[in-house]
Homo-oligomer: A and B are copies of this chain.
């Protein structure tokens, strides 16, 4: 039984889909990930997502479109991704995007500042909601 058909779901698939066990469809996505990222390995997120090849293909396509160079530089994009992942408490995402941010140049001082901002924003977000602060006219759309 290959990993691909072992998807008896009790909330989560049994095992990651390794390249060696992957269908051509899945391998095509793995190849594209490695080519785009200039790496020779596939992380666990993709290997678990691969149990549904359509999801794998669609999500990779989104990541590729959104996280590449653009009006925001790649490091800034990763910092935003880490900030959201911390806010949502996704342990895997914090680890993988934290590693990605580091690979793109984030140092310890920057990480400490990111933590500070994420913590502070999570704090003031609740205060503004609790106080039901009305949006200032100059911030409104007209």
List residues of chain A with CB under 8 Å of any chain B CB.
7-15, 43-45, 48-49, 51-52, 54-55, 58-59, 62-63, 65-67, 70-72, 76-77, 79-99, 101-102, 106-136, 138-142
Contacts and interface: CB of A to CB of B under 8 A. Distances in A.
Q: How many copies does the complex hold?
A: 6
Contact of A80 (B62, B99, B108, B118): B118
A71 B55 CA distance: 14
A72 B114 contact: yes
28 contacts: A8-B102, A9-B101, A9-B106, A9-B111, A10-B95, A10-B140, A11-B132, A12-B95, A12-B98, A14-B142, A43-B136, A44-B133, A45-B131, A51-B108, A52-B111, A55-B119, A63-B120, A66-B116, A70-B113, A71-B109, A77-B117, A80-B80, A86-B130, A89-B129, A91-B135, A95-B132, A99-B139, A122-B122
